[in-house]
Structures are given as structure tokens and as C-alpha cells.
Amino acid sequence: MSNLDNKDQYCGSLTNRKDLSELKNLFKLFENGYLTKSDMLDNLEVKGRRFYQLLALYRNNKLDTLYKNKRGKHRRTSIETTGKVIDELMIQRRIINDDRVDIKKYNYTYISEVIKNKHNVVISPATVARIAHKHGYDLKSKPTKKDLHTRKVLTQRIGDLLQHDSSVHKFAPLSGRKWYLIATIDDYSRLILYARLFESDTTWNHMLAVKHVALSYGKGCTYYTDNHSIFKYIRGRDSSAEGLTIISANTIKTQWAHVP
């Protein structure tokens, strides 16, 4: 008898907490990319091996076998807590529908943290996802293949190439304004060496970023920047930059480039 056919291995506390439709909805959200493996493990309270066995049952349309001759009680979310979750989902829906903000899906983990901080109510991201699905707040469309790309690391060691750039965006939509994110990333390890929001994109703010990285991690072998005038080096004028190699976006393909 295979592991997938051994129903007794999965029955018990798991099936007492979740009915069949809830379990199927959880795996549907996972398959569509709205829940992570960590979310699933926390919500189901199972180990990785059992999770993958349950996932195989779901993909083979055999989850029903877990519930034959099994009737158990499961915990239900209170109406008051459900209302609080829906309030937060409505806030996020307004942000998602705002064309000026590049946010295209709900953040269930963030909502669970907001509920805990605002109302001192502990609720898992998976439960938030179930409420969203039940009340029509989930996003049913999957990302298309053209929206996905592979990141390729071209460096050989940590510190070979530090990517540095700034980006203006509504990173905090409820603030009602745009912010400049200045960030530095190590190409090899993908470690974020520096990331901070500023009200303006000035040379001084970029200098603060370079200073922080140099004092905290050391000087990188090469800095990768775009062609913004802030990053242009003029020999003679910028004598303090001697010994630091700066390359532009036109001279190298980094891991952030699209790879066919």
C-alpha cells in the first residue's frame, strides 16, 4: 500500500479542524501562488513531508478519501473577526485598483499582522485567504509567463559587483505621496546591503548609502549603476572617487536582466 493510499496517516486532528472544501481552497490558493509553503505548514500544522503528500492527493483529486467515515469539528472564525478582515481587504482592494500603485494582489500576511496589532486578535494568513476567497476578495487570475523571468547571477564571489539604484514610487500608498527608494544589492548573494526611503533623490542621499555600505560591509570591487547624472564620474573633479570602479547599465547584464 502506498503512502498516498494510507488514509489513517492523515486523518485525526487535521480533518477535525478543516472540512474538505476548506482544505481544497487552501491548496487552490497555494497552487495559484497566493499562499506560500510556510503559510500552508503553519495553517495545517503538518511537516513538509506530509504537506507534499497532501498536495499530491489534491493534484490527483483524492482529498475526498481523507474524509470518508470521518466527521469532526473545526474551529470557526468569529463574525467580528471576519468583519475586521474584510475591512482590511477593502483597504487593500482600493490600493490594488489604483493604477498609480504597482500592487496587484492581496498581502494576507500583512493583513494578519494588522489585525493582531490593531485588535490583538491572532489570525493566520491562510484564514485571511479563506475569508477573502469566501467573500470574493481573492484574485483569480494567474501571472502570465511573459511577466515571469529568470534571475541569473554572473559574478563569482560576494563583493564582486554591487548594484545601486533609486526608484520613485508610491511605496506607502496610504501616505498619499511618492517616495524615493535608494538601495544597494550584492549581485552574488542578493543580500540587500542598503535600502531606505527618501523624500528626494539627491547626490547626498546616495553618498549616505555608499558610506553605510562601505563602513558596514567594506568597499565593493565594482558598482553597477544606471546612466543618471548623479553617477557620472568626471576625472579631475571627482578625485575622491579614485580607485572605485563604476560601470553603467549599458556595459553589463546583471541577474535582474531577462534571460531567455
The rounded distance, in Å, linking the Cα atoms of 249 and 253 is 8
Can you tell me the distance from the alpha carbon of 51 to that of 46, in angstroms, rounded to the nearest whole number?
6
The model's pLDDT over 70-89, given as tens digits with 9 standing for 90+, comes to 444 445 677 888 888 989 99
Q: Please give the pLDDT value at position 258.
A: 36
User: Domain extents for the chain?
Assistant: 3-66, 79-145, 162-247
Among candidate residues 159, 244, 175, the one with its CA nearest the CA of residue 206:
244
Q: Cβ(96)–Cβ(105) under 8 Å?
A: yes
The domain defined by 162-247 folds into Nucleotidyltransferase; domain 5 (3.30.420)
Could you say which residues of the chain have pLDDT below 70? 1-19, 67-76, 139-154, 174, 232-260
Spatial contact of 151 and 253, defined as CB atoms under 8 Å apart:
no
- Residue 213 confidence (pLDDT): 92
- Check residue 151 and give its pLDDT: 58
* pTM above threshold 0.85: no
* CB burial of residue 224 (10 Å; 0-12, 13-18, 19+): buried
Contact 58, 24 (CB under 8 A): yes
Helices of type H across 142-223: 203-217
- Say how far apart CA 123 and CA 195 lie, in whole Å: 30
Cell of 204: 547626498
* Residue 226 pLDDT: 76
Distance CA(75)–CA(16), nearest Å, equals: 9
